[in-house]
Amino acid sequence: MSTHHASTDDTNSRPKAVLFCPDCGHESSLSGDWIVRESAGRTTHTCPVCDATVEDRRRPEPALAP
């Protein structure tokens, strides 16, 4: 007896942004357990395990209105 179950796990692939800590290898999604700090115009993700800065993303400044 073979029950064929249609698996539906390859059509629903969402682009998941995953960050890796270069120091300890901790991995989590962008909205995972990173310590996110936002300061003027930039977002910094800090590893909750080893406290390393994983990604320092600068937000492009919006075009200045005339």
45 contributes a contact to Zn ion by CB under 5 A: no
35 binds Zn ion (CB under 5 A): no
Asked if residue 38 lies in contact with residue 45, where contact means CB atoms within 8 angstroms, the answer is no
CB of 34 to Zn ion, least distance (A): 10
> How many Å apart are CA 46 and CA 54, to the nearest integer?
6
Judge contact between 54 and 20, C-beta under 8 A.
yes
Among 4-12, 16-24, 31-39, 57-65, the segment contacting Zn ion (CB under 5 A): 16-24
Q: Could you tell me the smallest distance in angstroms from the CB atom of residue 39 to Zn ion?
A: 21
